[in-house]
């Protein structure tokens, strides 16, 4: 795959995206960290998973930690972590089925995918400013009750798919060989099917009463639109992985591309938050006039 790389354009885009994100969220910049669970998160993230069972155990431990963090039973990272466990558990159960062509690829991809999440948790807990901006959007709202659990879960999905997935693909290809769409892409698409099947229940699990009312009004439209979104974002992540794979021999260009990918993901996250706040305000106003 031939990649034409515009260094100046990439640098300019990264700066503009950062400025745009700050304009969307000028007041949402508290400090980093997982107080009062710094040590528990550090211990959780100190040992990287080596198989999908290890990923599930890590997510289970993370859930216990986040469920114990403020606000009571409402930590926003806990919402995403719960969604992530649900999808990963489905992937784990699918590995031994006839639907999977290359279980080694799918499991390794899942492990590399999870490593990015746990690493982001570790960086944030260590007050490290190299925490990806994409994850920062969610982590800074961990205790923000004004962000709905549904949007918090979507923020995690945004960071994980639009930022982490391409990196996980590259790490997987480095170990198993370069991208081979005929051999492994069908297994990659199997995750889309799992998402499609889980989306309705997951969305309703995290929805507020007002969001549930909207859900009833639009019927299956939300399910359809979110399926399209999952398909599009995961297809883009595969393409992005191929582009980054072509740049891997040039560390400087790769770093520039990674920066823009992170900034795009974080900007999208802030747009999600802004949309959530608008819907919440509308719901509050209409609720007063019922």
Q: What is the pLDDT of residue 196?
A: 87
* Average pLDDT taken over every residue of the chain: 84
Task: Report how far residue 280's alpha carbon sits from residue 287's, in angstroms, rounded to the nearest whole number.
Answer: 10
Q: Return the H-helix or E-strand segment holding 227.
A: helix 221-247
Percent of the chain, pLDDT > 90? 60
Task: Report how far residue 101's alpha carbon sits from residue 107's, in angstroms, rounded to the nearest whole number.
Answer: 12
- Domains of the chain, by residue range, sit at 35-279
The model's pLDDT over 181-238, given as tens digits with 9 standing for 90+, comes to 788 999 999 999 998 888 878 776 766 555 555 555 444 445 545 666 788 899 999 9
Tally helices (H) and strands (E) across the chain. 12, 0
The model's pLDDT over 84-130, given as tens digits with 9 standing for 90+, comes to 999 999 999 999 999 999 999 999 999 999 999 999 999 999 999 99
């Amino acid at each position: 795959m031939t990649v034409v790389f515009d260094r100046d354009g990439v640098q300019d885009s990264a700066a503009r995206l950062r400025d745009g994100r700050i304009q969307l969220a000028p007041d949402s910049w508290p400090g980093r960290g997982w107080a009062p669970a710094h040590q528990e998160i550090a211990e959780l993230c100190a040992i990287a998973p080596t198989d999908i069972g290890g990923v599930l155990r890590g997510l289970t431990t993370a859930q216990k930690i986040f469920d114990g963090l403020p606000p009571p039973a409402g930590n926003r990272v806990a919402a995403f972590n719960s969604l992530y466990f649900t999808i990963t558990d489905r992937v784990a159960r699918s590995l031994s089925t006839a639907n999977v062509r290359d279980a080694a690829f799918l499991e390794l991809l899942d492990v590399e995918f999870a490593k990015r999440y746990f690493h982001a948790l570790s960086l944030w807990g260590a007050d490290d400013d190299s925490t990806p901006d994409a994850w920062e959007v969610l982590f800074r709202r961990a205790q923000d009750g004004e962000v709905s659990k549904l949007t918090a879960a979507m923020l995690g999905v945004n960071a994980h798919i639009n930022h982490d997935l391409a990196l996980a693909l590259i790490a997987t290809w480095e170990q198993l060989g370069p991208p081979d769409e005929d051999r492994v892409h069908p297994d990659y698409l199997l995750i889309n099917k799992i998402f499609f099947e889980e989306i309705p229940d997951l969305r309703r699990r995290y929805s507020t009463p007002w969001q549930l009312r909207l859900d009833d009004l639009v019927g299956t439209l939300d399910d359809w639109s979110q399926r399209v979104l999952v398909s599009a974002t995961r297809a883009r992540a595969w393409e992005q992985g191929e582009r980054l794979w072509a740049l891997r021999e040039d560390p400087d260009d790769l770093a520039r591309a990674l920066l823009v990918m992170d900034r795009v993901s974080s900007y999208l996250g802030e747009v999600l938050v802004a949309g959530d706040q608008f819907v919440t305000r509308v719901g509050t106003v209409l609720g007063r006039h019922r």
